[in-house]
Chains A and B, each alone.
Chain A
Amino acid sequence: MAIDRYEHHDYYGVDELLTEEHLLIRDSVRAWVKKSVSPIIEEYAQRSEFPRHLVKELGEIGAFGPHIPTKYGGGGLDDISYGIIMQEIERCDSGIRSTASVQGSLVMYPIYLFGSEAQKMKYLPKLGSGEYLGCFGLTEPDHGSDPGGMKTNFTDAGDHVVLNGAKMWISNSPYSDIAVVWAKDEAGIIQGLIVEKGMEGFSAPEIHNKWSLRASVTGELVFDNVKVPKENLLPGVKGLKGPLSCLNSARYGIAWGAVGVALDCYDTALRYAKERMQFGKPIGSFQLQQKKLAEMITEITKAQLLVWRLGVLKSAGKASPAQISMAKRNNVQMALTVAREARQILGGMGITGEYSIMRHMMNLESVVTYEGTHDIHLLITGLDVTGLNAFG
């Protein structure tokens, strides 16, 4: 891949709304991304291989659970810091950001929120440092947007429970040391369990031939009479609100991450438009190209302000799930539009691995689908403004 020439774009001076510490966090993560991720990401994505060595580095830089208290191996930072970290990582690749989001928001966060003190001390420091990789099992082959219909279940067997079922589309799963799995008990109530690699009857086969998130590993979770000790049940929550509260945290990170992707596509397209000569002039001097670039930076600026405000609300504990849905939906769609327009500016070069745009565009097809599809988030907003449920 060509050298990473990315420069930040801040049309409305949003940086002035951030603290000096936020900016240091951003510069630090950006420096790490340029040093460790940018030079290798294209090759790994082309080979459809997960750069597994980055797990340890993500832990070292502090990208896993930055919003979890330091006592448990997190960063002890605020929600805006978490968003900024996700933005900078996704600026380079949504797949690597997915690895970090899953670990921080879907594995560490539920253990922190709903786990016992012993569970927190046992798992969180290792997940925070990258010694352990984790995954989150909610979606099933037949239950995506309707997770409440899940079939995975466990039965009481004295000092342990017996878990059966299967989960699908699970980021990180083939290489995970632990999985936070959501399953129904005998009364049909959803509960969380920590399933460890090596437990008999537990396997995590990889899903191959993806055209998206190729530098991130995705798999299944298969439970065939897995004996899970009762101390691995998350004691702090029962019902669907458990997994949904984790998804709020992850969706929040995605809303920030999408801004990163869009900024990278815009930055690439802007530079290309100023350098690429046609008809004796840079193509950026033509009105049709300017229209694309002007609309891109307008939409990016709106999205930057949206996540900043959402971050302020979330840091104050006031962000509603519906507000997070709105930001996730808007920003991912914005990023997709920007990626497609940017690809057009680059012409044929836009489809090659010389530039990041096509990889971003393919990645975003997953991002617009996972953690609540584009349509489902619309229904969440619809429900919120009308009070009328349009699901199912």
Chain B
Amino acid sequence: MKVLVCISQTPDTTTKIVFKADGSGVDYTNVKFIVNPYDEHALAKAMELKEQQGAEITVINVGKADAEQSLRKCFAVGADLGIRVDAEPVSGTQVAKLIADVAKERSYDLIFTGRESIDYNGGMVGELLGGLLGIPSVGYCGKLELNGNAATCTRFIDGGEETVKVELPLVVSAVKELGEPRIPNMRGIMQARTKPIEVIADSENSLPAEVRYESPKGKAGCVYIDAAEAGKLIDILHNERKLF
């Protein structure tokens, strides 16, 4: 079975995001990057399938050379092959098109994405991939069972769960319940040294996005009241704001 896992590189969750002075983008100086956590859940499920029934796992990233560290982390966890599409990721649509161009040629049985990346939170690449490739996609998938070519997916929806049965090939976007992220061990890290990353040119001739960034305005009118003076709060709510 051939499995493709789509990997985004995102700022670490503890990073404080600062914009460049001219508002043209995020200032990534001193930002630590990590593998998008939802993609790690996807990779964990792919590894489980590899161990249970055998699979060749390819990890793919749309990004510049500095994103290769994330692919190597995936190698250390157990991915077999790596592809980097050499383009600055600017939108979910562009990323999905670039990955679809690769996947069309190489026909994978299963394509995993995370439910969204934790930087821009677009959450659309999985579904777009399904559309572009003309195969089913199951979003927000928390459980996946395979029986030959038949896949049973459980997705989490408002107020419950939905179980869908689909045929491979299939795109699945992972929520955290799909698999517990693996921590690379030293042997895996050493083996990652020899696994090659194939670099593919940008087939979409992506242009940089023209965007502007600005920080949200601070919340105005916030009044701080010392816990010892809780009565003051009642007074404000009752007499000034007339809430009761």
Task: Give the B-binding residues of A (Cβ under 8 A).
Answer: 7, 20-21, 24-25, 28, 31-32, 35, 60-63, 66, 70, 75-77, 81, 85
Contact = CB atoms under 8 A, between A and B. Distances in A.
Interface residues of B, number: 13
A28 B69 contact: no
A24 B69 contact: yes
Nearest to A8: B32
B76 A24 contact: yes
Contact of A28 (B14, B183, B193): B183
Given A20-B72, A24-B76, A28-B76, A62 B185 contact: yes
Contact of A21 (B14, B183, B189): B189
Given A21-B193, A24-B69, A75 B184 contact: no
Contacts of B193: 21
A77 B192 CA distance: 12
Interface of B: 14, 69, 72-73, 76, 183-187, 189-190, 193
A28 B184 contact: yes
17 contacts: A7-B14, A20-B72, A21-B72, A21-B193, A24-B76, A25-B186, A25-B189, A28-B183, A28-B186, A61-B185, A62-B186, A66-B186, A70-B187, A70-B190, A75-B186, A75-B187, A85-B186
A31 B186 contact: no
B186 to A, nearest CB: 3
A17 B165 CA distance: 51
Contact of B73 (A24, A32, A60, A85): A24
Given A24-B76, A25-B189, A70-B190, A32 B183 contact: yes
A77 B186 contact: yes
Contacts of B186: 25, 28, 61-63, 66, 75, 77, 81, 85
A21 B76 CA distance: 10
Nearest to B34: A27
A63 B186 CA distance: 8
A218 to B, nearest CB: 26
B76 A75 contact: no
B194 to A, nearest CB: 12
Interface of A is mostly: helix
Contacts of A28: 76, 183-186, 189
B72 A75 contact: no
A75 B73 contact: no
A241 to B, nearest CB: 29
Top-6 shortest CB links A-B: A62-B186, A75-B186, A62-B185, A28-B184, A31-B183, A61-B185
Contact of B189 (A7, A24, A63): A24
A81 B73 CA distance: 16
Contacts of B184: 24, 28
A341 B219 CA distance: 39
Contacts of B14: 7
Given A20-B69, A24-B76, A28-B76, A75 B183 contact: no
A63 B183 CA distance: 13
Nearest to B77: A28
Nearest to B73: A24
Contacts of B72: 20-21, 24
A75 B186 CA distance: 6
B219 to A, nearest CB: 22
Nearest to B191: A70
Contacts of B189: 21, 24-25, 28, 62, 75, 77
B185 A60 contact: yes
B96 to A, nearest CB: 28
Given A62-B186, A75-B189, 13 more contacts: A7-B14, A21-B72, A21-B189, A24-B72, A24-B76, A25-B186, A25-B189, A28-B189, A60-B185, A62-B185, A70-B190, A75-B187, A76-B190
A81 B183 CA distance: 16
Given A7-B14, A24-B69, A24-B72, A61 B190 contact: no
